[in-house]
Each structure stands twice: as structure tokens, then as C-alpha cells.
Amino acid sequence: MEKLEIALLGEPVLRQIALPIDDVTSTDIQQLAQTMLFTLDGSNGVGLAAPQIFESKRIMVVASKPTPRYPYAPTMPATVMINPEFMALSDDMVKDWEGCLSIPSIRALVPRYHLIRVSYMDLTGQRLEVDFEGFIARVFQHEYDHLNGLVYLDRVDSNRDIISEAMFLKLIANDN
Ligand code: NI
């Protein structure tokens, strides 16, 4: 399978509202999911949304694991989420660092809900409900934003919360 080109900030597809998927078990959607898993696996990312590979559809992958880009990430199996929804279970918001494959070389502090209840369809079309907190809740909210034409830079409190990836890696090295 060929790793797909990642849409970079400035591509109109990243600013579109992605369309709901009504044929979850179709070959097209199953193949799209496999392509997304493959593309994410070959990157150091922890999540990917279909608009990032030029498919304006409501499907995303959350795949938290420690990588050079996210050395402190918890491990969870790569999970395909179709037509996802979520609600915050508390008003608590936490600021932490995010990056995005579509916005290379940049990191920023982004406020996100700490605890959320997520609902999504899996690849069989079954709707599942699960609670996420902390880093995984953050990844979910980041990818979910991509389905609504938003990127994490839209969420920062101040431009001063944006730094270069090289500086981020220095900060992380000093923390550990
Ligand atoms: Ni992203």
C-alpha cells in the first residue's frame, strides 16, 4: 500500500466540513480506513483525520503511542472512528502541547476538555460509546476538529503559545 500525501495547512480540504458516512461497510470506506491506518503507521503521528488525506469524510483514527514526536503519549490500539460525536463530562480544560502532520515544524499549547464521552461507529457499523481523558481525549478532540474544518491553531489562547518543533523537543528533553 502506498503512503498517501498529507494535506498541508492552506489546502481548502482542511477547512471544509466533512460529510457523514452512510455506507460504513462499503469497500470504499473499508479501504479508506486501511489506507489511513497505514499512513498513520508510517508517520510519527498519534491521530489522522480523513481530510488530511484529501477525503472530506467523517472518519478518523486515534492511535496514541509514544513516538519521537510525542515521547510521553500513553499506548492505545489504533482505533478507527466513523461519524464520531462527543460531549465534555466536565468543564475542566487543560492546556498541553499539540502538533499536526498538516502543520509541520510547529507546536502550540492548546486548551482541551480533560474528560469526554465519545460515540463513534466502528468498521462494522456498530455504534460504540467510550470515555476518554487526558492525552487520548486531546487527540480525539484534535482529530474531531479536522472533521469540522478546524485546526489546533484555531484553539490557542495566544500566538505566544505557538513555538517551533525544535524548541518543543528541547523543552521535552529538559523535562525528562
Ligand atoms: Ni492534525
| Residue pLDDT, tens place only, 79-100 | 999 999 999 999 999 999 999 9
| pLDDT tier, 6 (very low <50, low <70, confident <90, very high otherwise) | very high
pLDDT at 64 over 90: no
H or E element: which one contains 121?
strand 115-121
Output the average pLDDT for the chain: 94
Q: How far is the CA of 14 from the centre of ligand 1 (A)?
A: 9
| pLDDT tier, 1 (very low <50, low <70, confident <90, very high otherwise) | low
Comparing 41 with 69, which gets the higher pLDDT? 41
Residues 6+ apart with CB under 8 A from 64: 46, 47, 70, 73, 74, 75, 76, 135, 136, 139
Provide the 8-state DSSP code for 72.
T
pLDDT value at residue 69? 66
Annotated active-site residue in 85, 129, 133, 143: 143
**pTM for the structure as a whole:** 0.94
Provide the 8-state DSSP code for 31.
H
Q: How far is the CA of 141 from the centre of ligand 1 (A)?
A: 10
Residue 143 falls in the annotated catalytic set:
yes
Q: How far is the CA of 157 from the centre of ligand 1 (A)?
A: 18
Domains of the chain: 12-175 (3.90.45.10)
Alpha helices in the chain (DSSP H): 27-41, 134-147, 165-175
